[in-house]
Amino acid sequence: MTYSAPITDMRFVLNRVIGFDRIAGLPGYEDATPDLVDSVLEEAGKFAAEVLAPINATGDREGSKLENGVVHQPECFRAAYKRYVEAGWNGVPFEPEYGGQGLPWALAFAVQEMWQSANMAFGLCPMLNQGAVELLSEHGSPDQKEMFLAKLISGEWTGTMDLTEPSAGSDLGAVRTKAVPDGDVYRISGTKIFITYGEHDQAENIIHLVLARLPGAPAGSKGIALFIAPKFLVNPDGSLGARNDLLCTGIEHKLGINASPTAVLSYGDNGGAIGYLVGEPGRGLEYMFSMMNNARQSVGLQGLAIAERAYQQARDYAKTRIQGKDLRSPRGPSVAIINHPDVRRMLLTMKSQTEAARILCYEAGAARDIAKRHPDSEARAAAQLRIELLTPVVKSWVTDLGCEIASLGVQVHGGMGFIEETGAAQHLRDARIAPIYEGTNGIQAADLVFRKLGRDQGAAALAFIAEMKTVAAHAAGHPGDDLKTISDALYAGTIVLEQATLWMVETLKPDAVAAAAGAANYLRMFGLVTGGAMLARAASAASDDLRQRGADVDFLTGKIITARFYAEQILPQAAGLLVPITQGAGTVMALTDDQF
């Protein structure tokens, strides 16, 4: 159950596929030199492999434990988190003004992938904290930034996202938690559920970002405000004061991520928890989307990370498990199962989709950097549109892949995968939450169709498809049958995606039910074709690099073969989704409730 960060592939994606030099050249990223980036990747890889991966199974077995309102983490988690903070890992992408390292998000995404691969239950804590930092950086007052950001960026304090209630899951307009003015502060009362790391003893304070409703506020999302409610109140000098009036009354017993405490929080049992209003009343949900969209991209990274971990373990097992004869030499000795065609098919399915997902996730990180740092306002705006278009695809398609690839990992192990001792089952159990939280994947599909296509009649999506056609043409310009096959498959995929996009744009207003019925398949098609474009870019870069002196021939030819496998075996699935998208709504809605 070891983990080795795929640094060679990460470096190739950053430098040769997404073009890290264009990111490092943005204002404020002058320190992101090639030597520094290599050092960060190497040291993060060591930390993930030596500190986080060895306690993944331990945390799963021991889990989090609630005693008298306090959640106790496994001792190995507390020790690892202390080392994580002391090493400064929490501050990688944040502003130096508050103690961050000011490095690009594209690099931070690569580092974050390592944490999530090595130990997803551990990685959830800094993931939520990262979103809290971004929210307060964008929407907090100067005093709030001064009080909270430095400690959150260092990781000495951690942040949470307190949205869900028993009566308000995905429909956040139904939030009932109340916030009553009391001088300069507010008194919060209500119950929040499913709060990741809502209570724990890894850090000295927890900063809750809470959605609540003010007295007399209108119904629905317009009546929601956002508040900061620390576990321990903070004195003017920055020291910790009294315990706030909020209590963990339970933690969930879950399928996976057992060492990530999922808390039930009760606010205001003794007069009301003290909260500080963020920004303006009525804009709480708008502000919270800064954190939610950050988290959605990071959850997509979790899907990638679990896929990578499951692939590594399946690959290593397949190389050592002796079973059956080689069909190429049936009278010879028994061989490792990696020699069997179906096992190789499964491993290449895992490998190719994981590598496609990595490029997509890092591309989204690069777009974040451009949107935040580019000196040209039009370039920033275009990058922001790209982030918004890709976020539901990153979150949904990549987390679905995480589950599918972890499941294939169990299959490669055979019976040994179905027992807990090998660890393959834990990857599948841990992966299963990612398509659910931060907006279920069905909600992501609806967001892609109704918001992202609907706001501009598909202009941003069609522009992206046009770019993918250019990628296909560029690949075709390289020598060899492999690149031509990749190019042809990608171009065919863009044609069906374009057809589906135009159908969605024409349908979503006159027949919203039909558009909604096809939305999940449309998002999957979008992901499949985008993945093909990502691998075509990688194959083109690998083909160029093969002509350089001293090229790593094994690695680069492997990139091309993997991209061709995806083009032949995975990408054609996109065409099969066109009929379900455009013609499937009638049967989706045909049964009465009683017929189910």
User: Which residues are the active-site residues?
Assistant: 438
Pick from 284, 283, 245, 285: nearest CA to 266:
245
The token pair that represents 281 in the structure block: 């009343």
Q: Hunting for tokens 């003015």 — which residue is that? A: 181
45-69 in b/e form (b: 16+ CB < 10 A) is bebbbebbbbbbbebbebbbebeee
The token pair that represents 522 in the structure block: 């449309």
511-538 in b/e form (b: 16+ CB < 10 A) is eeebbbbbbbbbbbbbbbbbbbbbbbbb
CB atoms within 10 A of CB 265: 26
Contacts of 362 (CB under 8 A, 6+ apart): 13, 14, 17, 18, 106, 109, 110
Q: How far apart are CA 7 and CA 13, in angstroms?
A: 10
According to DSSP, the residues that pair with 160 across neighbouring strands are 208
CB atoms within 10 A of CB 329: 10
H helices, E strands: number in the chain: 19, 14
| Class of residue 39 by CB neighbours under 10 A (exposed 0-12, middle 13-18, buried 19+) | exposed
The token pair that represents 370 in the structure block: 């451009």
Cα–chain center distance at 474: 29
Q: How far apart are CA 208 and CA 297, in angstroms?
A: 21
Residue 240's φ and ψ, nearest 5 degrees, are -85, 140
Residue 285's φ and ψ, nearest 5 degrees, are -65, -40
The token pair that represents 218 in the structure block: 């209108």
Q: Hunting for tokens 């795929």 — which residue is that? A: 6
Element (H, E) at 208: strand 205-213
Pick from 193, 161, 107, 452: nearest CA to 294:
161
Q: Are strands 157-162 and 205-213 parallel, antiparallel or unpaired?
A: parallel
What distances in angstroms separate CA 343 from CA 66, 86, 249, 323, 375, one per listed residue? 43, 43, 47, 12, 49
